Amino acid sequence: MAATGERSATFRDVLAVPEYRSLWLSGLISRAGDQLARVALAVHAYGLTGSATVTTLTYALTFVPSLIGGPLLGGLADRFPRRRLMIACDVARALLVGIMAVPQVPFPVLCVLLFTVQLIDAPEKTARIATTPDVLDARLYVTGVTLAQMTSQLTMLVGFGVGGLIVTAIGPHAALGLNALSFALAALVVATGVKERPASRTGRVVSLGEMATGVGLIIRDRRLRGLLAFALLATFSIAPEGLAVPYAGALGGGTVEAGILLCAIPAGSVVGMYLVNRLSAGLPALAPLAVVSCLPLVVSAYGPGTAVSAAAWFLTGVLSAYQVIANAEFVRAAPPERRGQTVGVAASALTAAQGVGVLLSGPLADLTGPPAAIATYGLAGTIVALPLAVTWRRRRTTVPQPQSR
């Protein structure tokens, strides 16, 4: 919470910081390009093969590399100056996506290039995240993280619809060309707007040992371990995303209803993030929000119709804004010299947990039906969150908290 008499930070305050503005804008540009590329590649894959399986596998290639890149390459954000790393990654991605935009490139080569581009995303993202605490002071930091995550959610919400229109209008190869230009522009924004800082550690070895060090650091640090555990509750709130289509079918709806349901949680997240920032909700709100975040999903068991279901899922999105608090505190609590490595490991763990959550939701829905499966996830998320909240609250009342810098 903001100190008594101290005005809460606003989005205008953080955007008034030139360096943060450059970090935020470069991230917005590259994320928008990524969304356009995902649509373009899905359209291109289906046009070449006519196979839904190949199309979904191609789409999956835009996410899978983060499982490897986070823990293995996140440490580069500690070994190299972070500004230079962000620029190098964006330039490399611009060149690779530029090659992908050439119509004559064979589809298997396209897949290899896509995997590489997404692998490079991990060190660039961790470098940006690790730079943010150096750019914003304690009063502005959580607001800056909130704005970045809100922007990411809004880009996802808008990106698929707008991306589909763009790809339809200009074709997948031209859309990939725009994606290449977006990376080049993001590199230019960082180069002109972010200050050069030295690497936080010496040495330039990237190895499995480095990854193990990052994992061990989180395991040994109770604060980092607890914050990551709260973030991993997304394993349960992700279920509606994977089951929206069959759930809509179970309610007697179709594509339109599925689209409404798919938008409910991301839209709720945007509202929740805004409220978390507006109300200056800090660490005291973390555990209570986490406990109740999945509970509205239990309503799905009754198959109450699209409107009520969407409202319940929207509420889950609002309550899941505790993730902003957990993520911001995790980055702030990580040792500065290992910030890139720990953030990379945590991001990979979160991606893996969400993937497992989606994968298991399908078989469960086949066994029990989509409404019961989603409700089960909601109840399980609440049950798992309770002991985490109790442990977190007990530790916070017995351990002195670090002072804001």
pLDDT of 376 higher than 90: yes
CA distance 84 to 127: 9
User: Rounded mean pLDDT of the chain?
Assistant: 82
pLDDT tens figures, 85-110: 999 999 999 999 999 999 888 888 88
pLDDT score for 395: 74
Residues 241-274 pLDDT 10s:
778 878 888 888 876 787 788 788 888 988 998 8
Residue 2 has pLDDT above 70, yes or no: no
Burial 218-233 (b: 16+ CB within 10 A, else e): beebebbebbbbbbbb
Contact (CB, 8 A) for 93 and 142:
no
pLDDT confidence bin for 60, thresholds 50/70/90? low
- Please report the pLDDT score of residue 162 as a whole number: 77
Q: Does residue 54 have a pLDDT over 70?
A: no
Select from 232, 235, 193 the least CA-distant residue to 86.
193
Tokens of 168: 């339809």
Instruction: Quote the pTM value.
Output: 0.71
Higher-confidence residue of 275 and 340: namely 275
Enter the tokens of residue 172.
């997948």
* pLDDT exceeds cutoff 60 at 134: yes
Identify which of 80, 84, 69, 175 has the alpha carbon closest to the alpha carbon of residue 122: 69
| d(C-alpha 297, C-alpha 41), whole Å | 33
3-state SS track over 78-138? HHCCHHHHHHHHHHHHHHHHHHHCCCCCCHHHHHHHHHHHHHHHHHHHHHHHHHHHHHCCH
Q: CA 374 to CA 88: how far, in whole Å?
A: 42
Gyration radius of the chain over CA positions: 21
pLDDT of 373 > 70? The answer is yes
pLDDT exceeds 90 at position 378: yes
Q: Which residues of 71-106 are buried (b: 16+ CB within 10 A; e: fewer)?
A: bbbbbbbbbbebbbbbbbbbbbbbebbbebbeeeee
Look up residue 205 and give its DSSP letter.
Answer: -
Maximum CA extent, the chain: 64
Q: What percent of the chain is predicted at pLDDT more than 70? A: 85
Report residue 232 CA to chain centroid gap.
12
Q: Is residue 375 scored above 50 in pLDDT?
A: yes
Location of structure tokens 């005005």: 7
* pLDDT tier, 319 (very low <50, low <70, confident <90, very high otherwise): very high
